[in-house]
Amino acid sequence: MDEICVVTTVVDARSVADVLAAAAVAGRLAASAQVSGPVHSTYWWRQGVETSTEWSVRFKTALDRVAALVEQLRARHPYDVPEIVVARAGSGNPDYTAWVYEHTRP
């Protein structure tokens, strides 16, 4: 319980980001989610360089909830190949880590 994860994705609309955030928190797959943007992204797609405006969502979750969160994001994400990045993060505040763990229990 001394380690949490930050899961990040991007989508093409604020409304989609808000839905993904709300579903993950309501389903106890994340203790919290922050939506930010717009961000301007540049990336390779279908043999060329693309640019687009996207919204970023950062989910805070417990290590044992990551797989279920990633599965939910993949199922609900509008992109063919969604960016879903998982980073382990030790918390500087053990009370916050405990809060994340507590609020990701079904």
CATH 3.30.70.120 matches 3-102: yes
pLDDT string in tens for the chain (106-residue length): 678 999 999 999 999 999 999 999 999 999 999 999 999 999 999 999 999 999 999 999 999 999 999 999 999 999 999 999 999 997 678 999 999 999 999 8
CA distance 4 to 104: 11
pTM for the complete prediction? 0.94
Helix (H, G, I), strand (E, B) or coil at 57: strand
Measure the CA–CA gap between 51 and 90, rounded to whole angstroms. Answer: 33
Provide the residue ranges of all domains of the chain, joining segments of one domain with +: 3-102
